[in-house]
Amino acid sequence: MIYLDNAATSWPKPPEVLKAMVDVLERAGGNPGRSGHHLSVEAARVVYEAREDIAHFFNISDPTRIIFTSNATHAINIVLKGLLKPGDRVVTSSMEHNAVMRPLRSLEKHGLILDVVPCASDGSLDINDIAKAIDSSTRLVVLIHASNVVGTMLPIAEVAPLAHRTGALLLVDAAQTAGVIPIDMKISRIDFLAFTGHKGLQGPPGIGGLVIGDHVDTSQIEPLMRGGTGSQSELEEQPEHLPDKFESGTPNIVGIAGLRAGINWIMDRGIETIRAQERKLTRTLIDGLSNISGIQVHGTHDPEKTVAIISFTATGRQVSEIGLMLDEGYGILARVGLHCAPAAHKTIGTFPEGTVRLAPGVFTTMDDITTAISAIEKVVGL
Amino acid sequence: MIEYGVILFHTTSSVMRAEKLLAKEGFAIKLIPTPREFSSDCGVALRFDWTQCQRIKGVLDTAGVEIAGIHQL
């Protein structure tokens, strides 16, 4: 079997991640900080150590500005629903995933003013177009760091100063980049970073987070959920202190332990090493597919400008048919269709049919890629 | 007999941060369930040797860990 669906969820996971998850249940099974006995304290230590490692990984000074969530979608919703008011203006791109688009379209019905800046057919965003869209009435700029459909990266670092110049904040959806592209909150001046644990960060599904920049005033953000925090229990109102303001209910300590192990595994291996390997695989995949008659590779063909996500269509072949033949005939697992991103498919011209998406990961070898290319050649040539 | 004090914090994250900082500095500390007489909080508090109160407070202040209250046991 060749697993090329790492953009949906990475698989397999490093053994260290599985071990950390079993270990936390065996050794630290209490409810973090709630009860005060030693198992509860041990669980709280696991959560705190993870916070510190994640803060270090994304380079923010204050670990309490790491908010654990169930996934990137949850983190994005905290910012969009907590920060924005009717009448606020939001600038976003036409490459966004529904994790961003659906909450924004819903808020639009309640008075939000939404400006979707069109991207080019390769998924790239012209910095001049977004510069024109951002003005003094813009409250928030929301951008996907790299497209989940074609892998194309958006110019986050260049957008940040444009947003800040007029007092807007920048939310980045890093679902496809955290763990494979170095992200430094201080250098890139991102205000909110939403990430998920189960893709590039090598953790399990069900854990993600929101990183809030050191300078962002959190009193302006209403929590998405309110409830028990294990702190200030005498109050019937939600506490303002971080991270508790945004973390109600018992946290997913098994997921947090797995996420931390995944991040440490990445740091040991080196994110630049991971990136270099994925770039090589991407180059080979784009070149190999482009040489097959009848195949169109979408997105930019420059591996420097993408993460390891490649989308293609084939003349006269339905994508669902290709996906099924690759799975059943060759054991190659891809994802076909719209990838929860109708706006992105409209932008690249593949709506409503969608594409076949191939996403190598850290355990994909060059042999896997060459085998996949020849299998695809056979399938589309039939 | 050692006289103890207890430090209360606003969040469990602050308790964990304080524990880590103070353990690194070699202070004899222990995390205990928050004594009921000081708070109705359901969480954890940090117990310490009362004679080291000022030094401990200094470490936490320097690191920017917010203290919710300090009491002698």
A231/B20 CB distance under 8 A: no
Residue A134 pLDDT grade (very low, low, confident, very high; cuts 50, 70, 90): very high
Does A319 lie in the same domain as A299?
A: yes
Tell me the chain A residues in contact with residue B31 when contact means C-beta distances shorter than 8 Å: 36, 41
Does A253 lie in the same domain as A193?
A: yes
Residue A35 in this model has a pLDDT that exceeds 90: no
Tell me the chain A residues in contact with residue B12 when contact means C-beta distances shorter than 8 Å: 32-33, 44, 47-48, 230-231, 244
Residue B40 pLDDT grade (very low, low, confident, very high; cuts 50, 70, 90): low
Residue A336 in this model has a pLDDT that exceeds 90: yes
| Distance from the B37 Cα atom to the nearest Cα atom in chain A, whole angstroms | 13
Question: Which 8-state DSSP code applies to residue B65?
Answer: P
Contact A206, A61 (CB under 8 A): no
Domain harbouring A286, CATH code: 3.90.1150.10
For residues A278-302, give the mean pLDDT. 97
Query: Which positions in chain B have a beta carbon within 8 angstroms of at least one beta carbon in chain A?
Result: 9-17, 19-20, 31-34, 39-45, 66
Task: Supply the ipTM of this predicted assembly.
Answer: 0.88
What is the model's pLDDT at position B41? 66
Does A157 lie in the same domain as A138?
A: yes
Give me the number of domains chain A comprises. Answer: 2
Residue B42 in this model has a pLDDT that exceeds 80: no
Residue A109, burial from CB neighbour count under 10 angstroms (0-12, 13-18, 19+)? exposed
A233/B40 CB distance under 8 A: yes
Domain boundary among A250, A268, A286: A268
Domains belonging to chain B, first-starting first, are: 4-72 (3.30.70.260)
Predicted confidence (pLDDT) per residue in A46-80, tens digit: 999 999 999 999 999 999 999 999 999 999 999 99
Does A146 lie in the same domain as A19?
A: yes
User: Alpha-carbon distance B13 to A16, whole Å?
Assistant: 25
pTM beyond 0.90, yes or no: yes
A48/B40 CB distance under 8 A: no
Does A106 lie in the same domain as A21?
A: yes
Of A64, A230, A242, the CB nearest to B42: A230
Predicted confidence (pLDDT) per residue in A189-243, tens digit: 999 999 999 999 999 999 999 999 999 999 999 999 999 998 888 889 999 999 9
| Distance from the A263 Cα atom to the nearest Cα atom in chain B, whole angstroms | 20
Does A316 lie in the same domain as A217?
A: no
Q: How long is chain B?
A: 73
Does A37 lie in the same domain as A121?
A: yes
Catalytic residue, chosen from A133, A340, A373, A375, is A340
Residue B57 in this model has a pLDDT that exceeds 70: yes
What is the model's pLDDT at position A56? 98
Domain limits for position A152: 15-268
A48/B34 CB distance under 8 A: no
| Distance from the B14 Cα atom to the nearest Cα atom in chain A, whole angstroms | 8
Does A249 lie in the same domain as A102?
A: yes
Residue A340 catalytic? yes
What is the model's pLDDT at position A90? 98
Predicted confidence (pLDDT) per residue in A307-317, tens digit: 999 999 999 99
Least Cα distance to A180 among A214, A143, A148 occurs for A148
Domain harbouring A69, CATH code: 3.40.640.10
Domain boundary among A268, A302, A333: A268
Residue A148 CA from chain centroid, whole number? 8
Alpha helix stretches (DSSP H) within chain A: 15-27, 38-58, 72-83, 98-109, 127-133, 156-165, 185-188, 253-269, 271-290, 319-330, 342-348, 366-381
In DSSP terms, A116 is beta-bridged to A92
What is the model's pLDDT at position A34? 78
Does A48 lie in the same domain as A139?
A: yes
- pLDDT above 70 as % of chain A: 100
Domain boundary among A247, A268, A289: A268
Does A322 lie in the same domain as A230?
A: no
User: Alpha-carbon distance A78 to A173, whole Å?
Assistant: 12
Of B13, B42, B66, the CB nearest to A48: B13
What is the model's pLDDT at position B1? 81
